[in-house]
Structure formats: structure tokens, C-alpha cells
Amino acid sequence: MAMPSDQAGPGPWILVEDPWGRVEPESSRRLLLVAIEAFADQGYHATTTRDIATRAGMSPAALYVHYPSKAALLARISGVGHEVALALVQQAIDGAPDPLSRLRAVVAGFAAWHAEHHRVARVVHYELTALPEPDRAAIVELRRRIEQLVEEQISAGVAAGQMQVAHPRRVARAVLSLGVDVARWYHPTGPDSPSAIGALYADLAARMVGAGDLPE
Amino acid sequence: MAMPSDQAGPGPWILVEDPWGRVEPESSRRLLLVAIEAFADQGYHATTTRDIATRAGMSPAALYVHYPSKAALLARISGVGHEVALALVQQAIDGAPDPLSRLRAVVAGFAAWHAEHHRVARVVHYELTALPEPDRAAIVELRRRIEQLVEEQISAGVAAGQMQVAHPRRVARAVLSLGVDVARWYHPTGPDSPSAIGALYADLAARMVGAGDLPE
């Protein structure tokens, strides 16, 4: 298949490669990182705040200075993860000149990010129901905005005659599903790099919206 | 978009609508069903055998007559789930006359099954790493066979000039991802029925392999 168009460049996800750099102070960031590992290894429900504090080399009391509860840690992880995903989608759209190039850049970046950050992505996607309100509502709203941005590119592509899609909202969801599910099966030791997965999935998304090229 | 071809009929998944009917005796089946609910609600790691026994109205000792451990319950759930999925894929292939019709029937059935049985599918897909060996190896082998059957249809479609795909194995994985991820987002109260999702995803898969129709 064809490689993604040059507009996608080396991948917009490079700009957000360390999504946790924004979390300050350092001890707060360290707790998030070990909480991701604990939730990914043991599952959210079976992890205690003591497990997380121990992994971070801190006392439970020191953990509570930063986060009042385990749910607060999950909410922060999910919040940062979704904000980064939304920023990545927005950057991909802003950096490309037309609906099809935008869709390709979004899908390439979204799929590559889910490969690169597969452990945090699993926590974020699979533990959504564990979030208390109002955190859950805030995350659902971020997800809705991501889906809406993708739907808008598809609707614009249809209007411009670039794409042929009867149900832009449903196809937007399916296109994002491809990227989300990368986090489930991806292994860093496998044959495919995150950027190679992104390139292939951009091609598949172009075909899904009726705008694909023939294979080379 | 076009509806799936008539060969797909009302959907091969109807034949396996009660995947647990094969589990005997009844108390053994009841334990599996309540274990699925417990794992889906609380997560596998946070569920105890006592929780499961209580939900089934049984004593922990009575549970152990049927299953020696919580892991044995998960292994049985995952085993039945994957065997049913493999049977569904094989039936779809056997019931259709050419590679594209077979791929469409597989995708329609697989996606509809993941909608209909979204709770068990979440347990089966997300708790794979919790399975002890040799159960895990057996499940991985069932998954490999499902992926291989889909890959074979794509390779046959390419050879017959029906499809245009450079990497059949990778595209087979992506096509199955679409169906798997339905289990994550599906809500029974949403606007799309399992069979409508199956029909749309068969169309999308046809496009992904370079054999799609224009929308109606």
C-alpha cells in the first residue's frame, strides 16, 4: 500500500511523546507513572494505594499529599491521557491541508500513539467504568470531542467529493476503534513499529471512507 | 452503504446465540455466568471465589466441586468464548461461496457477536494476561487460528483478483480489531443493533481489502 502523504510528516505524535512531562511536581509525576504500571499489571480494582506508594518508594501518607484516593490517581491518568489524545488529533488536523490528509494524519498519529503508549492506553480505555463522577463525565466529554473531530473531517471529505460515506459518525467510531485496539495486541518486541502501524492504518482509513489508493 | 450480500443471510451468529448451553451440569454453567458478571463488574483480580459463590447462591465449598480455582473459571470462560468465536468464523466461511462473501460473513458475524455478548467479550479480551499456563497458550492458539482463517480469505481474494492487499496478515488483524473493539463501546440501549453493526462492518471490511462498493 501507499505510504501516508507527506503532509503527515514524521508523525504529529512526536510532539507529545512524553505526555507526563506536564505533571508537576516530580513526586506527583512519579506516582502517576508507577500507578499506571500497577494498574496495568494487577488491574485497577486489585491495586491498593499502599501498592502504589511502595512502588514509588514513598509512604501511603506521602501519597495522600498528592492524591486523596486511588480514584483520584486514575482520574488524573485518564485526564492526561485523553487531553494528550485530543491535542494530538487537533494538531494532526491543523497541520494538514484537506479532509483526507487530515483524516490520514489523525489515524496515523492515533494508532502510533496507542502502540507507543499501549500500557497507559489499556488502563485509560478499560478502566473507564471505574472512574467516579464527575471525573467520568469529563472524560466522556473529551472522548466525544475526539470522535466529533474525526466525524467532521469525514463529513467535510464527503462534502468536498473526496470521500463516500453514508454514516460519518459510525465510520468515525470504527476508524478510531482501529487505533484503540492497537493497545490491546501491541507488543514492543513484534515486527511492526508504531510508525509503520500508523502508516498502514492511515491507508486503511482512507479506504474505509472510499478514498483509498491501490496497493503499490 | 450496501447491505451485506445475501449469502450472509440473517447472520451465522444466530447458531451460537447461547454459547453456554454446552456447559453441563447446570450448576457449573450457572457459576460461569455469575463469574462473567462479577469479572465484568469488579475486574478479575478484585473478584474472589467467595464473591462468585455468593452470587450463585452456593457455598465456596460447592464452587470448588466444579472449579478448583478462580483461574479455572476464567480459563473455562475464555475457552468457551474463543471456541464459539472460532466456530462462528468457520461457519461463516463454510456458508459463503467466494473469498469476499466469506470475509463479509465473518466480519458481520464477529462484530455482531461482540455487540450481543459484549460483557463476556470484555472479560475474554482484557483478562488474557491473567490466565495461567497452559490455559493461556491454548487460548493464544485459538486466536491464532481465527486470525489465520481471516488471513486465508484475504490471500485467496487477492489470488482471485477480488481484493487488493499488500499485507494480508496485518489487514486480517485490523479487520478483527474492528469487531473486538465493538465490545468496548457497545451499549444495548444505543441506536445500533448488533446486526446493523455487523452489516456496516462487513461493508467497511470489503473496502479495507480494496473490494468495496460505493454507498447507496
Q: What is the pLDDT of residues A173-207, one digit of tens each?
A: 999 999 999 998 999 998 999 999 999 999 999 99
**Rounded to an integer, what distance in angstroms lies between the CA atom of residue B174 and that of residue B147?**
10
Please give the average per-residue pLDDT across B118-127, as a whole number. 88
- How much is the pLDDT for A9? 40
Name the residue among A125, A130, A120 with its Cα closest to residue A37: A120
Closest CA to A152 of A92, A84, A83: A92
The region that residue A182 occupies, defined by phi over 0 for left and psi between -120 and 50 for alpha, beta otherwise, is: alpha
d(CA B7, CA B96): 6
CA-CA-CA-CA torsion for A159, A162, A166, A168, nearest 10 degrees? -80
Banded model confidence at residue B129, pLDDT cuts 50, 70, 90: confident
pLDDT of residue A206: 96
On the 0-12 / 13-18 / 19+ scale of CB atoms within 10 A, B170 is buried
> Which tops the pLDDT comparison, A216 or A87?
A87
Compare CB distances from B164 to A182, A184, A215 and report the shortest one's residue: A215
Residue A13 has pLDDT above 60, yes or no: no
Distance CA A98, CA A152 (A): 12
Q: Which chain B residue lies closest to A130 (C-alpha atoms)?
A: B42
* CB contact (8 A) between residue B1 and residue A45: no
**DSSP letters of A140-174?**
HHHHHHHHHHHHHHHHHHHHTTS---S-HHHHHHH
Instruction: Provide the b/e sequence for A90-110 (b: ≥16 CB within 10 Å).
Output: ebbbebbeebbbbbbbbbbbb
Q: How far apart are CA A198 and CA A116, in angstroms?
A: 11
Q: Which residues have C-beta within 8 Å of that of residue A138, sequence separation ≥ 6? A: A79
> Can you give the pLDDT at residue A8?
38
**ipTM value greater than 0.95:** no
Rounded CA separation B126/B116 (Å): 17
Q: In angstroms, rounded to a whole number, what is the distance separating the alpha carbons of residues A79 and B189?
A: 26
Distance of CA A178 to the CA centre of its chain: 11
DSSP per-residue codes, B38-55? HHHHH-TTT--HHHHHHH
pTM score above 0.80: yes
The Cβ of residue A25 has, within 10 Å, a number of other Cβ atoms equal to: 8
Residue B2 banded pLDDT, cuts 50, 70, 90: very low
Q: Does B167 touch chain A (CB under 8 A)?
A: yes
Using a CB–CB cutoff of 8 Å, tell me whether A31 touches chain B: no
pLDDT tier at B186 (50, 70, 90 boundaries)?
A: very high
Quickly state the pLDDT bin for A65 (edges 50, 70, 90): very high
pLDDT for position B28: 87
Chain A residues with CB-CB distance to B162 below 8 A: none
A121, pLDDT greater than 70: yes
The pLDDT value given to residue A17:
55
The answer to whether residue A98 scores a pLDDT higher than 60 is yes
How sure is the predictor about B17, in pLDDT bands with cuts at 50, 70 and 90?
A: low
C-alpha span between A153 and A156 (Å, rounded)? 5
Q: Which CATH code, of 1.10.357.10, 3.30.70.1150, 3.90.1170.50, 1.20.1440.230, is assigned to B10-208?
A: 1.10.357.10
For residues B122-141, average pLDDT: 89
Report pLDDT for B45: 84
B/e letters for B139-154, b = 16+ CB within 10 Å, e = fewer, are: beebbeebbebbbbbb
User: Residue B137: CB partners within 8 Å, gap ≥ 6?
Assistant: none
- Nearest-CA distance A25 → chain B (Å): 31
Taking the CA of residue A24 and the nearest CA in chain B, the distance in Å comes to 31
User: Across residues A78-88, what is the average pLDDT?
Assistant: 91
CATH 1.10.357.10 fits A70-208, yes or no: yes
Grid coordinates given for A24? 508537576
Q: Which of B45, B208, B212 comes nearest A42 by C-beta?
A: B45
| pLDDT (0 to 100) of residue A72 | 93
Average pLDDT, chain A: 87
Distance CA B39, CA A102 (A): 39
Q: Quick one: which of A89, A58, A183 has its CA closest to B177?
A: A183
Instruction: Compare B45 and B66 and report the one with higher pLDDT.
Output: B66
pLDDT at residue number A102: 97
Secondary structure of residue A5 in the 3-state scheme:
coil
So what's the pLDDT on residue B214?
A: 45
What distance in Å separates the CA atoms of residue A48 and residue B19, rounded to the nearest whole number? 35
Q: Which residues of A touch B170 (CB under 8 A)?
A: 192, 200
Write the secondary structure of B110-170 as one string of H (helix), E (strand) and C (coil).
HHHHHHHCHHHHHHHHHCHHHCCCCHHHHHHHHHHHHHHHHHHHHHHHHHCCCCCCCCHHH
